[in-house]
Amino acid sequence: MPLDPSHFRPATRLVHGGTERSLHGETAEALFLTSGYVYDDAEQAEATFTGSIDHYQYSRFANPTVGMLEQRLCLLEGAEACRMTATGMAAVNGALLSHLKAGDRVVASRALFGSCHWIVSTLLPKFGIESVFVDGADLDEWRRALSQPTQLVLLETPSNPMLEMVDLPVVAELAHAAGAIVVVDNVFATPLLQQPLRFGADVVVYSCTKHMDGQGRVLGGAVLGRRTWINDVLQPFVRNTGPALSPFNAWLILKGLETLALRVDAASRSAAALADFLAEQPAVTRVWYPTRKDHPQHALAATLMSGGGTMVTFEVAGGKEGAFQMMNGFGLIAISNNLGDSKSLVTHPATTTHMRIGEAERARLGITDGVIRLSVGLEDPEDLKADLQRGLSGVSGVSAVLAAN
C-alpha cells in the first residue's frame, strides 16, 4: 500500500509527492501533452461542465502532469491548494487581479522586483485600485498604512535584490486587522528555507523558473493558499484569462524538484562562504547576506528562515564603472538577470532588473550604482572565490581603496 506523502520529510516529498501513475506503471511522472480530453458520452461531457463529476476538460483548465506538480508543491509548502501559471509574473499578476476590484486598496513593501513594482505602481491604479508603498523594514510605516481598510498586502522577504527582511508575523496581524489578505513572493528563500503560511501569509507566489527548475530551462509560476480562495477566487481568473503552464514545462519542473533540496543546500553553503569572502575584500564596501551578523535584520532572518539562501548582494567601490569592471572581468560567473540556477549568475540591478523604477526609488531602496546581485550556483566555491578575485582585480578603484586602508 502506498504511504501518505504528507508524513514524509521535505526531501522525500520532493521526489515522491503528487505522483500519479497511469495504467502503464511508469517510474517517471508521465508527460501528458494533450490539449483536450475525450468523454465516454454526451452525458459525461455535460456533467463535467456542470461540475457534478470530476473529469479533465481542457489543459488550459487542468492537466494531469500539471496537477502532479501542484500536488507536490502543496506538500512542500504546507498549502491546501495550488495553481500553476506560465511564468512567475503571471502568478503575481493572477494573485492580485483575481482578488482586487476598482475602489480597493493595496499596501506593498517598496522593496519589490521591478515588474512587481510596476504592477503595483502603474497597472493597478489604471483599474481604480489605490496603491500605497511602505518601507518593508519599518513596522511604524506598516501600522500607519494599515490603519485603514485594505484588501491586499504584497511583500517579498528576503527582497530582491537587497535581501531586506519583513517581520511577517507582525505585518500579517496588522493586515488581517485591516481586512487584507497577505501575498508573499517567496522566491529567494524557497519553500525549503521559509514557509510564509506558517507566519500568517494567506497566499504564496513563486517563479518556478528559479530554484525549482533551477537549470535555466523553462518558465513557470505557482500560487498557493487556502483551497476556498484558490478555487473560488483564483481559479476562475486563470481559467478564463489563460496563463496556463505547459505540461512539458510542468514535467521539467517536477524533475527539477527532485534535486531541489540538494541544490539549495549546496548553493546556500557556498553563498555563505562567498559572503564572508567578499566582506574581506578591500574593494567591496558592503555585503548583504541574511545569516551574517552584520545584516541589519540578522535576528529576524534567523527567526523566519532556516538558512541564508543562495543569493549574495554586495557593493563595490567605483559605482557603476567599478561594478561593470568587476562583472566584465569574470571568466566563470555569467552575467544574466536570471537567478536560482545551477550556474552562478551576476546582475547589476540599477541597469537591468530595477532600472525602470527610477533613480529616486532605487536610492530609497539602497540600490546604488555599485550594487551587484550574485546568484550562487553549484560550482566549487574555491573556483568562485578565484573568479570573484579575478573580477575585483579589474576594478580601477581597488588601488585607491588599498591605499586608504
CATH of the domain at 224: 3.40.640.10
- Residues 250 and 282 placed together within one structural domain of the fold: no
227 and 304, same domain (yes or no) = no
Structural domain total, the chain? 2
Let me know whether 237 and 373 are in one domain: no
Contact 153, 175 (CB under 8 A): yes
Q: Identify whether residues 283 and 247 lie together within a single domain.
A: no
pLDDT 10s per residue in the chain (405 long)? 667 888 899 999 999 999 999 999 999 999 999 999 999 999 999 999 999 999 999 999 999 999 999 999 999 999 999 999 999 999 999 999 999 999 999 999 999 999 999 999 999 999 999 999 999 999 999 999 999 999 999 999 999 999 999 999 999 999 999 999 999 999 999 999 999 999 999 999 999 999 999 999 999 999 999 999 999 999 999 999 999 999 999 999 999 999 999 999 999 999 999 999 999 999 999 999 999 999 999 999 999 999 999 999 999 999 999 999 999 999 999 999 999 999 999 999 999 999 999 999 999 999 999 999 999 999 999 999 999 999 999 997 554 554 555
Q: Answer with the one of 234, 257, 280 that is the final residue of a domain.
A: 257
Q: Which residue type does 17 have?
A: G
Same domain flag for 250 and 272: no
Residues 139, 28 share a domain:
yes
Terminal-to-terminal C-alpha distance of the chain: 67
Q: Tell me, yes or no, whether 121 and 52 share the same domain.
A: yes
| 224, 241, 257 - which closes a domain | 257
From CA 307, how far away is CA 266, in angstroms rounded?
Answer: 11
The verdict on whether omega for the bond into residue 349 sits within 30 degrees of 0, i.e. cis, is no
Do 281 and 152 lie in one domain? The reply is no
Q: What residues have CB less than 8 Å from 392, skipping those under 6 apart?
A: 281, 283, 284, 316, 326, 329, 398
> Does 274 lie in the same domain as 369?
yes
Whether the Cβ atoms of residue 332 and residue 270 lie closer than 8 Å to each other: no
Domain that holds residue 360: 262-404
Q: How far apart are CA 39 and CA 47, in angstroms?
A: 10
Q: How far apart are CA 267 and CA 305, in angstroms?
A: 15
Contact of 156 with 111, CB cutoff 8 Å: yes
Residue pair 202/183 in contact (Cβ under 8 Å)? The answer is yes
Cell numbers standing for residue 402 = 588599498
Do 294 and 238 have their domain in common? no
CATH number of the structural domain spanning residue 354: 3.90.1150.10
* Domain co-membership, 91 together with 174: yes
Side-chain half-sphere of 79: how many Cα atoms within 13 Å? 28
Backbone angles phi, psi at 344, to 5 degrees: -70, 135
Residue finishing a domain among 257, 290, 323: 257
Q: Which residues contact 187 (CB under 8 A, 6 or more apart)?
A: 88, 156, 160, 206, 207, 210, 211, 340
Sequence-distant contacts of 362-367: CB under 8 A, at least 24 apart = 364/110, 364/135, 365/110, 365/111, 365/162, 365/164, 366/162, 367/161, 367/162
Side chain identity, residue 294: D
Regarding whether 246 and 204 lie in a shared domain, the answer is yes
Q: Please name the residue that has the C-alpha cell 549546496.
A: 266
Take residue 226 and report the three cell numbers written for it: 487556502
How far is it, in rounded angstroms, from Cα 90 to Cα 96?
10
Strand stretches in 269-393, DSSP E: 284-288, 311-316, 334-335, 345-347, 371-375
